[in-house]
Structure 1
């Protein structure tokens, strides 16, 4: 059996909880390497600098690909001087993944506000920046549970936009793209030979035959029918409020949702600690814990490592299938 290639764990915002989660993730027992400034790790962390992702370290020691930052990290107080280095770390991790030096990347959370203020970061978040680094490929964001059965896997078709803009942004072309990306990723990265995809309606009760909205009847249902004719296993458009109880989840492998909260509220309710963010459509594996920088508890040593451990484990599982 081929030994698993290590996953690159990017440092994220050093003033957040990311650096203190890295040594806790050693409990995973699978190879990964922290890419960042070792000065930002918690005091007393056992770490060793490596020159390449696969270089060996002693058991219980955190392997570190060193990337020096201009400034130290003060928990809860992001320093604009470090913003450019945060972005550089992400780009460096992508290079390592694309060359095959690593099995994939797992990104610790960034502060979009800090990056915009300190580095002029022009992307809404990690997902869009990674797509740009990969050659501006079309991608989709999936949140996947690890602690509930049947699994909850959701793909918001529109992501970080105001709710007032969703109806205009949710186009037939965008939904079709998300369906195709999700179907391909479920086959390649999750090992599901014939993915069953559920499509949530935009409106309450999926429009209820036009009484509560007309998008479902006007273009969503015809699109779903056309793609069924191509061989996709699709259900919907369905009322979103009845899609996420256990019996409903057993009938599909992933749900495509019209907007951010329609997708994220169910998974964060069902599996807040074990949710994993996966970017579908990239030429490399990328996962992330499904939480933010948590500035309010940074530096206190109380941050829960369950989500980052789940994200690293999922990255290994996905990499093994590629």
Structure 2
């Protein structure tokens, strides 16, 4: 959808781990996107030396570099813990810019969590850090990708969206972490952002169980009876179109792909293994529940191919497209 040229959408991209593919896929995807959309401008955040190719763009007036210098020298493919704080500086600048209204959305390139922690900075991941910096108690990680017409019999192209109740937890801790309030809050956050940021007036949501066969009436576990089903019933009373709990191995049936706007899984691999199997390299990571818009790639730093000119910028391009569309939708709803 093309907006009126006066409705300029301003995007910031944090170019991520300097030793990885972040800078190169950020530049490539930004250039491609600006050829698609005339009413967008992009600011790349990062070291000027890493982003010199960006200034060669034919859309130089709409593709800008805001220089944030490296703390130490960086070699492609080789991590340097001294640059851990540099990666955090990129995130802080984008978050502050979005909160202040300077940017309409932020897009993040991949980072290496180990480097940041080795630098002495406690860091679990983008999602958790964004929640902390934005002062939000609970955010939801969701991955999204477009499935093409004909895939598993789809009558038209359709967005597959998978959100998670828990994210980066050891599997043995998931059950103890779950509770009815957390599940209900997740459903509400997904519902709200589907409406406000994605323009879906009446979202349809499916939610999984935790255990095989969704607990099989308590025989394989009681989480469905004690926590998940009660949360679903409360959500229904709030007017949310949510159903479940579904067994994890049948929740993504082909018919559901035609009808469901978002699937909610209880833990990381339950939701993201099937998602990535059908979308690998084309997915977008979206953080729901924030006062700002944030999207990201669905892959890592790919240190082994950094600087070789073979990195696929497709996921970053989709992340930029998603951030742009959500920002545009929000502008139109607010306007």
Does the Cα contact within 8 Å between 1:137 and 1:281 map onto a contact in 2?
no
Pair 209,28 (structure 1): closer, same or farther in 2 beyond 3 Å = same
Alignment of 1:60-139 (within 5 A): 62-118=63-119, 120-139=120-139
Shift of 1:73: 2.0
Alignment of 1:268-283 (within 5 A): 268-283=276-291
Gaps of 5+ in 1: 49-56
- 1:188 corresponds to 2:193: no
Counterpart CA distance in 2 for 1:114 and 1:46 is 26
Does the Cα contact within 8 Å between 2:141 and 2:287 map onto a contact in 1?
yes
Supply the RMSD in Å over aligned alpha carbons.
Answer: 1.6
Counterpart CA distance in 2 for 1:98 and 1:74 is 33
Counterpart CA distance in 2 for 1:7 and 1:45 is 18
Aligned residues: 311
Shift of 1:217: 2.0
| Cα displacement string for residues 53-104 of structure 1 (whole angstroms, at most 9, x for unaligned residues) | xxxx842684211111122321111111211111011001111111111111
- Residue in 1 aligned with 2:152? none
- Residue in 2 aligned with 1:140? 140
- Residue in 2 aligned with 1:34? 44
TM-score (norm 1): 0.92
Shift of 1:297: 1.2
| Cα displacement string for residues 141-192 of structure 1 (whole angstroms, at most 9, x for unaligned residues) | 1101134443211111111010011111111111111111111000011111
Picking from 307, 313, 327, the partner of 1:299 is 307
Picking from 139, 164, 167, the partner of 1:159 is 167
Counterpart secondary structure, 1:219:
helix
Shift of 1:246: 2.5
Counterpart secondary structure, 1:22:
helix
Pair 3,58 (structure 1): closer, same or farther in 2 beyond 3 Å = farther
Counterpart CA distance in 2 for 1:143 and 1:279 is 9
Counterpart CA distance in 2 for 1:133 and 1:22 is 23
Shift of 1:226: 2.1
| Cα displacement string for residues 15-63 of structure 1 (whole angstroms, at most 9, x for unaligned residues) | 011011122111112431210002124xx72417xxxxxxxx8426842
Counterpart CA distance in 2 for 1:150 and 1:253 is 9
